[in-house]
Amino acid sequence: MADKDRIPKRGNWLGLLYQGDEDAFADFVDEYQGMVFLCCKTLGLNETEAHDVASETFLAAYQNISKFQAKSKLSTWLWKIAYHKAVDYIRKNNREQSLADEPDEQLADKKIAQVAAELENKEHSQIVWDAVRSLPGDWALAIMLFYRENKTITEISKIMKKRKGTVKTYLFRGRKRLKKLLEKYIESHWRQ
Amino acid sequence: MVSSNYYNKDEFDEMLAKSLKRHSEPVRTNFTNMVINHIEEERKRELLRKIVLQERFALGLSIALAIFLLSGIIFFGKEIAQVMLSSFNSLRDIPVKTLTSYSPDWQLIIAAIAAIGSVIFAFSDTLNLRQRVIRQLFR
């Protein structure tokens, strides 16, 4: 959905944000908090961690809103802040290994079997979401941005500050892993 | 066996997109208020940081000026006393005479005025800043 459709219908909303208007900023937080939480959760943060990172993200957005030049969508700009805040948090806690690395094949197969077993008896969207969350963070985020947020490869590469080729690799590998992960479920449920 | 159609890229992608779009993350109630409070706290912290920096600067300036005045008295005591005395004497005379007596030592006079002015500014600034901190914190 276009940004202008998502923002509250208030006169010169972005202008008010630039001026540091607190009410406008509260509307902004209301509108985008779900998206920021989603970014944090996709990267593997738990509830408390996601809350802290989301709070830091909005603080950074408030402090830097004057630098936003509307060259990209407001949501893309916020995704970028949220992603980098979350990555900083993960790095500080020495968990960067899980972000982009190709997991060991045997371990990955074990994990697939484990996750596939856990997916039984869950709601469809929850099953797919859990499967996505089991991917390395960067792969999962690329999948989310591409399939859920309809971001282009160029936008994703800007958000994640990665080359387009890298983003395409994340998408390809992520999709391949998801297919394997969801194979059993799809076989028994989705096609019925 | 899963239908080979299933591996058709479009179908899988469509399923993935639909499922992910249906998913949303629950957010904590009052999160917006918490963020606004966090921003307010951060703003106060930033203000305090600036004030502390200004106070340190004012204190440093006061100390530097005190040292400057003290060394002036130690090394140029006689000259300053002479200037002050002659100035005092000349002040009793008509303003024209006073101005004439000041003119040869104008650099010293300007330095002294600047030093005294800076000390006064530093102290008044320090006092005003304290009041500002109190106002900001307890408004």
**Cα–chain-centroid distance for residue B108?**
30
Instruction: Pick the more confident residue, A85 or B117.
Output: A85
| Residue B119 pLDDT | 80
The pLDDT of residue A101 is 64
Residues of A in contact with B6 (CB under 8 A): 186, 190-191
- Cα B90 to the center of its chain, rounded Å: 42
Mean pLDDT of A55-79: 88
Looking at this protein, which amino acid is placed at residue B39?
I
Average model confidence (pLDDT) for chain A? Answer: 81
Per-residue exposure over A39-62, b if at least 16 CB sit within 10 Å of its own CB, e if not: bbbbbbbeeebbbebbbbbbbebb
Q: Quote the tokens at residue B137.
A: 């914190």
Percentage above 90 pLDDT, chain A: 41
Q: What is the pLDDT of residue A68?
A: 84
* B44 in contact with chain A, both atoms CB, cutoff 8 A: no
Measured between beta carbons, the chain A residues lying within 8 angstroms of B21 are 147-148
Is A129 close to B19, i.e. CB distance below 8 A?
yes
Task: Say whether the ipTM exceeds 0.90.
Answer: no
- For residue B12, list chain A residues with Cβ-Cβ distance below 8 A: 175, 179
Q: How many CB atoms lie within 10 A of CB B99?
A: 10
- Return the amino acid letter for A2: A
Ramachandran region, residue B33 (left: φ > 0; alpha: ψ -120 to 50; beta: rest): alpha
pLDDT at A184 over 80: no
Each of the 139 residues of chain B gets a pLDDT tens digit; together they read 344 444 456 778 888 888 888 888 887 788 999 999 988 898 899 899 998 998 888 888 888 888 888 888 788 878 887 887 777 776 666 666 655 666 777 776 777 788 888 888 877 777 676 666 667 666 5
Q: Tell me the per-residue pLDDT of A89-110, one tens digit each, with 9 for 90 and over.
A: 998 886 655 666 665 555 556 6
What pLDDT was estimated at residue A161?
A: 93
Mean pLDDT of A143-167: 93
DSSP per-residue string spanning A94-120: T-THHHHPPPPHHHHHHHHHHHHHHTT
Rounded average pLDDT over A139-147: 93
Q: Do A147 and B16 touch (CB under 8 A)?
A: yes
Q: How far is A174 from chain B (nearest CA, A)?
A: 11
B48 min Cα distance to partner chain A (Å): 17
Instruction: Please give, one letter per residue, the 3-state secondary structure of A56-94.
Output: HHHHHHHHHHHHCCCCCCHHHHHHHHHHHHHHHHHHHCC
pLDDT tens profile A3-57: 444 454 445 677 787 887 888 888 889 889 999 999 999 998 988 999 999 999 9
Tell me how far apart the terminal alpha carbons of chain A are, to the nearest angstrom.
Answer: 31
Classify the C-alpha dihedral B112-B114-B119-B120 as positive or negative. positive
Q: Please name the member of A58, A128, A147 whose beta carbon is closest to the beta carbon of B13.
A: A147
Of A119-123, A171-175, B120-124, minimum mean pLDDT range: A119-123
Q: Is the pLDDT of residue A142 over 50?
A: yes
B38/A55 CB distance under 8 A:
yes
Query: How much is the pLDDT for A106?
Result: 57
Residues B118 and B68 sit within 8 Å (Cβ to Cβ): no
pLDDT at position A66 is 83
CB contact under 8 A, A191 and B21: no
Which residues of A have a CB under 8 Å from any CB of B?
A: 22, 25-26, 29-30, 33-34, 37-38, 41, 50-51, 54-55, 58-59, 62, 124-129, 132, 143-144, 147-148, 175, 178-179, 183, 186-187, 190-191
DSSP A150-188: ---HHHHHHHHT--HHHHHHHHHHHHHHHHHHHHHHIII
Cβ-count burial B25-36 (b if 16+ within 10 Å, e if not):
bebeeebbebbb
